[in-house]
Amino acid sequence: MMHHSSFPEEGEKDLQWSEFIDRLFETAAPYLAVRGDADHTAVSHGYSLTLLQNEGGNRRIVEPAVILHDVGWSVLEPENISAAFGVLAKGEEAERLNRIHETEGAAIAEKILRSFDYDPGLVESIRDIISRHDSGETAPSLEEALVKDADKLWRFSRTGFWQETARQRLNPQTLLDFLEARSRHWFFSPTALRLAQQELFTRRDEINNLPS
Ligand SMILES: [Fe+2]
Ligand SMILES: [Fe+2]
């Protein structure tokens, strides 16, 4: 995979890239299935493409990092997973488990990317981003900013919002209020903030039209 032929035609290069992305999704699938993260990963990957288009950044870092960022949940027991994430997760134990999904995820991602003979420099950048994708409050690079923004945007999407209310047993209005309060200082890129606000507008409409 990722053979570097000297001067590939533009179209050919795109095809190779999309094949690589497909294979990466396939390889990540069993890890992502443990917490039920297939939809989360696909939706966040979709957002990352829009972010890359509007903000720039290296897609050879951003796309693999988004696809692999949550593979680390696969090492935790199911009962620990539910204690470790979401708007109600609090405390030292939740934090410890959350750190495990970051560090184990970074190690698994590195192993997967090496199996594709992926560029070692890029592997290192991707591993570092995954190792702090949730806990890190700064983004030292544009690529890291876009990965974190794409991850958070999931909760604002139609699929993500309604899946998270079910998965975290939240009242939709409670989640909406939480996201509205956080969105203003959550995102690194202006594109992500704009997308989040558009999504919230639609989610509010959906909540107001729920059958009572
Ligand atoms: Fe995560
Ligand atoms: Fe995530």
**pLDDT tens string 64-116:** 999 999 999 999 887 777 777 666 667 888 888 899 999 999 999 999 999 99
Phi-psi region of 156 (alpha: psi -120 to 50; beta: other; left: phi over 0): alpha
Provide the token pair at 50: 């829009």
Quote the mean pLDDT of the chain: 90
Residue 83 phi, psi dihedral angles, 5° rounding = -80, -15
Å from CA of 134 to ligand 1 middle: 6
Å from CA of 72 to ligand 2 middle: 10
Contact 166, 64 (CB under 8 A): no
| Confidence label for 10 from pLDDT (cuts 50, 70 and 90) | low
Domains of the chain: 10-154 (1.10.3210)
Q: What is the pTM of this model?
A: 0.90
pLDDT value of residue 58: 98
pLDDT value of residue 2: 46
Q: Give the tens place of pLDDT for each residue, 157-200.
A: 999 999 999 988 899 999 999 999 998 889 999 999 999 999 99
Alpha carbon separation from 155 to 79, 86, 206 (Å, rounded): 22, 10, 15
Please identify every residue whose CB atom is under 5 Å from ligand 2, which is an ion. Answer: 70, 151
